[in-house]
């Protein structure tokens, strides 16, 4: 059972985990999962404003962003016997603190924050409890005008970013950061292979370039590859034009050295080729999933070149905060392809599914 499926087995049954006042009449809008043929659909609801309990924070969400995981949840692609009906979609969002509960010390009203992907993974290795605290499909989902969160489940966002830009960070950016910096220990001058031009790969390109590494990126679109060059791509390869040997053409751009870092976001169909062009002592971050999670890992090939393979499923709050420091230092700005309005949530999901985008797809609330 893959870890994404495991995380979804602990779906909370309550949409609002705070104590609601009996006198409260103020309402706000949120989307919830509703049962549909072959999975779920998004249903807009009006719900009562909660009150922040001890150590809880109310956040007025200003923007959210989409990940491929969100499409899988609509399709019920992870299996299992849980029911997402009545829970809140999406893991990624940013907004402004509008109320704090008693004993809250990390934030005050007016602070600009983002939710962390795993609400209970703060630092170090994740516990079993942490790995079932992933936002989206539970009470912690972000596609809601107001959310309730424990103060520990939030981070301050870089000052130079807009709400829309900050909303793109929790999943894709942290995943790229952990793969390159925490697991890969990226260094200036290293060659980095990035697959496609979705959220993780574009963040990987930006982070690698800012670190002084040499990124090479693939796509099926020449227009997307030209855009990637403006973000710092050293070289590009169109895998549609080179379906059998795209990886070898990418390696040629390293002068035969191979790649010190690979963010393998596709999985079963790309991993063998990625390992074939991995440099001696290199690291491949196993993020995969676009073509399936299962794959035979040739451990002998990894051993003979003293390489490492690291499974990466986002990261901790500490990882998020370390990445934010780097983003602030280098004044990086996430790439947003298109911004939809709250009422267009279904259209935003459809646009993500089309694949006709670069970077991130955002919904403004």
Domains of the chain are 3-168+334-364 (3.90.180.10), 172-311 (3.40.50.720)
- 3-class secondary-structure state, position 337: strand
Torsion of CA 327, 288, 76, 167, to 10 degrees: 10
Q: Which two tokens stand for residue 217?
A: 């990126």
Beta strands 360-364; 235-238: pairing state: unpaired
Q: Which of 167, 165, 190, 169 is nearest to 178 (CA)?
A: 169
Q: Which two tokens stand for residue 54?
A: 């001890």
The per-residue pLDDT for 81 is 77
Q: What is the 3-state secondary structure (H, E, C) of 77-114?
A: CCCCCCCCCCCECCCEEEEEEEEECCCCCCCCCCCEEE
- 312/288 Cα distance (integer angstroms): 9
DSSP codes joined into one string, 278-324: EEEEEEEEE--BTTBS-----HHHHHHTT-EEEE-----HHHHHHHH
- The whole-model pTM stands at 0.91
CA angle 41, 353, 244 (to 5 degrees): 145
The per-residue pLDDT for 14 is 38
Q: Which two tokens stand for residue 365?
A: 């609330």
Which residues of the chain register pLDDT less than 70?
1-24, 288-296
> DSSP character for 172?
I
Phi/psi region, residue 215 (left: phi>0; alpha: psi -120 to 50; beta: rest), is beta
Phi/psi region, residue 76 (left: phi>0; alpha: psi -120 to 50; beta: rest), is left
Q: What is the 3-state secondary structure (H, E, C) of 154-208?
A: EEECCCCCCHHHHCCHHHHHHHHHHHHHHHCCCCCCCEEEECCCCHHHHHHHHHH
64-120: pLDDT as tens digits: 999 999 999 999 888 777 899 999 999 999 999 999 999 999 999 999 999 999 999
- 30/142 Cα distance (integer angstroms): 9
**Looking at the DSSP assignment, which residues form a beta bridge with residue 61?**
95
The per-residue pLDDT for 270 is 84
The per-residue pLDDT for 92 is 98
CA angle 26, 32, 37 (to 5 degrees): 150
The per-residue pLDDT for 1 is 39
Q: Which two tokens stand for residue 279?
A: 């440099």
The per-residue pLDDT for 294 is 53
**Looking at the DSSP assignment, which residues form a beta bridge with residue 43?**
32
């Amino acid at each position: 059972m893959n870890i994404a499926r495991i995380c979804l087995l602990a779906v909370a049954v309550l949409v609002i985990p705070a104590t609601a006042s009996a006198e409260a009449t103020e309402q706000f809008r949120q989307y919830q999962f509703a049962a549909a043929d072959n999975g779920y659909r998004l249903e807009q609801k009006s719900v009562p404003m909660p009150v922040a309990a001890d150590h809880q924070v109310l956040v007025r969400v200003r923007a959210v962003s989409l990940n491929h995981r969100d499409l899988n949840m609509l399709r019920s692609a992870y299996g299992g016997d849980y029911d997402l009906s009545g829970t809140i979609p999406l893991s990624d969002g940013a907004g402004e603190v509008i109320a704090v509960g008693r004993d809250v010390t990390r934030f005050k009203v007016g602070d600009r924050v983002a939710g962390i992907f795993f609400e209970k993974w703060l630092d170090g290795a994740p516990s079993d409890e942490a790995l079932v605290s992933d936002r989206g499909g539970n009470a912690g989902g972000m596609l809601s005008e107001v959310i309730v969160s424990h103060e520990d489940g939030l981070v301050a966002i870089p000052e130079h970013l807009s709400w829309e830009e900050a909303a793109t960070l929790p999943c894709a950016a942290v995943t790229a950061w952990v793969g390159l910096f925490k697991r890969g220990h990226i260094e200036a001058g290293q060659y980095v292979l990035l697959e496609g031009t979705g959220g993780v790969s574009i963040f990987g390109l930006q982070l690698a370039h800012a670190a002084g590494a040499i990124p090479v990126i693939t796509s099926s679109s020449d227009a997307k590859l030209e855009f990637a060059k403006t973000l710092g791509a050293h070289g590009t390869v169109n895998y549609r034009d080179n379906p059998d040997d795209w990886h070898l053409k990418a390696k040629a751009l390293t002068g035969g050295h191979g790649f010190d870092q690979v963010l393998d976001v596709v999985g079963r169909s790309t991993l063998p080729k990625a390992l074939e062009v991995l440099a001696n002592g290199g690291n491949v971050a196993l993020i995969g999933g676009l073509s399936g999670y299962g794959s035979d890992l040739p451990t002998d090939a990894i051993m003979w070149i003293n390489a490492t393979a690291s499974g990466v499923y986002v990261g901790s709050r500490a990882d998020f905060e370390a990445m934010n420091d780097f983003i602030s230092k280098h004044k990086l700005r996430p790439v947003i392809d298109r911004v939809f309005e709250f009422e267009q949530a279904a259209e935003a999901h459809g646009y993500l599914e089309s694949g006709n985008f670069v970077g991130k797809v955002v919904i403004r609330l």
